[in-house]
Amino acid sequence: MTFFSKTPKSKVVAVIDITSSSVGGALVESNEGCPVAVSAAPRSPVNFLFDVSLEASLRCTAESLRLTAKKLKSLRSGKIDEVLCVFSSPWFSSKTKIITVTREKPFELRNDFFSEIIEEEEKNFTPLETGMSKRGEKNSLFIEHEVIKAELNGYYVKNPIGKNARSVKSHIYLSVGVEKAMEMARREIEKVFIHTPLRFATSSLVAFKVLSDIIKNKEGYLIIDIGGETTEINIIRNNVLEMSASFSKGKNLLFRKAATTLNTFLGEASSIVRAYSAGHRTLESSDKIAEAVKESIEEWRDSLKNSLSVMAKSALLPQNVFIIGGDPVCRFFSSCLEKSDFSEFTVLNKPFVAQKIKSEWLSRYFKTGDYQSKDMDIILMIEAVYADKFLEINPPLAETNICQEK
């Protein structure tokens, strides 16, 4: 619960981003009232195989995490206040619950009111199936439990603590992570960042908090992140992360089909597909790649349609869709979003209006020169803003509040 949250005047956070296909990292230095300074470590790709299993995925992810953590540590010799490790699908599952409490007489809201609600919901929480749970991983640990919106007597109130009301509607975000993945991450991170506090977070809540401050849309919107092994979908509406879902199809689906079609290794197939996506289509294998792209898009679209049909049962979906990620290969999949296939799920019964989240929307948070190149990492930019704006870290007794030029 983060009502009245305050960030310290000065802090340095090591951000580590664990997805299904890579591990990225960034050092985030922030001073209150000043733009954020960021130093990013190159992403370490996670080796992927034809047959995916929990143990193989964990082993390959651990190797990539080890590399990224060492690169990140080498960027700074001074103190790092905290490590923020953000998990993407399939390493977590989440739900947003709505709890309404009504009493005859007005009562004052205190922190223990929300704490008791959260504690009760944790007892009753049943995680949705994640990609890894379907492969045999059932054990999970809580990551986040947070009131993301409160309505008093039917009206949204940003800071409800200390106010009086007869009716309180609480929107609570609960998330759990795959236990083996969290243990692996903690083990590898603590080898490099010794005696540094470690905090876990989920990509859904991080994206919601940061993008809600940037994207202003009364009708709501979807955020879709097309990863390596999975695709995440989040519905944002009425200032709430209303629902999240994921399915086990991503860019690697195309790479595997291409490798099978061309009878080659996955690494070679990935390079050929990327060359094809960049417009180099004079290759002898172009026709085969085109067929693999077509089959992959159809398979991905069917999975997306199944997920959206479930999400639209309670209420039709907003028409606007924002895509996270700048990988050119993602365009093969996202290009089908504006087709008529999905019109039945939207409020206006029309195709989605899709666009990519642009780095310019986030650049105002950073010092001039940081994240200004064409190779900027949108996901790490979002997580860097989250680390700056939403992490509470106990500051040292003596600290300064001076913006220094790089």
Environment class of 35 (CB within 10 Å of its CB; exposed 0-12, middle 13-18, buried 19+): middle
Distance CA 389, CA 396 (A): 18
With 90 as the cut, is the pLDDT of residue 5 above it?
no
Question: What is the distance in angstroms between the CA of the first residue and the CA of the last residue of the chain?
Answer: 35
With 60 as the cut, is the pLDDT of residue 4 above it?
no
Give me the torsion for CA of 271, 273, 279, 280, rounded to 10°.
60
- List pLDDT tens digits, range 371-392: 554 457 899 999 999 999 888 7
Helix/strand/coil percent split, the chain, to 5: 35, 30, 35
Q: What pLDDT, on the 0 to 100 scale, is given for residue 2?
A: 56
Q: Rounded to the nearest 5°, which phi and psi values hold at 221?
A: -165, 165
Closest CA to 185 of 57, 78, 325, 324: 57
Distance CA 358, CA 283 (A): 32
Q: What pLDDT, on the 0 to 100 scale, is given for residue 7?
A: 52
pTM attached to this predicted model: 0.90
Which domains can be identified in the chain, with CATH numbers? Answer: 10-390 (3.30.420.40)
Which has more pLDDT, 186 or 47? 186
Q: How many residues would you count in the chain?
A: 406
Q: Which pLDDT band holds residue 256 (cuts at 50, 70, 90)?
A: very high
Distance CA 88, CA 91 (A): 6
Distance CA 185, CA 53 (A): 18
Q: What pLDDT, on the 0 to 100 scale, is given for residue 328?
A: 85
Q: Which residues contact residue 63 at a Cβ distance below 8 angstroms, ignoring those fewer than 6 apart?
A: 44, 46, 47
Distance CA 143, CA 199 (A): 9
Q: Which range among 86-90, 171-175, 305-309, 401-405 shows the weakest confidence by mean pLDDT?
A: 401-405
Q: What pLDDT, on the 0 to 100 scale, is given for residue 137?
A: 54
- Tell me what percent of the residues of the chain surpass a pLDDT of 70: 88
Q: What pLDDT, on the 0 to 100 scale, is given for residue 103?
A: 95
Does residue 230 contact residue 20 with C-beta atoms inside 8 Å?
yes
Closest CA to 344 of 311, 380, 322, 366: 311
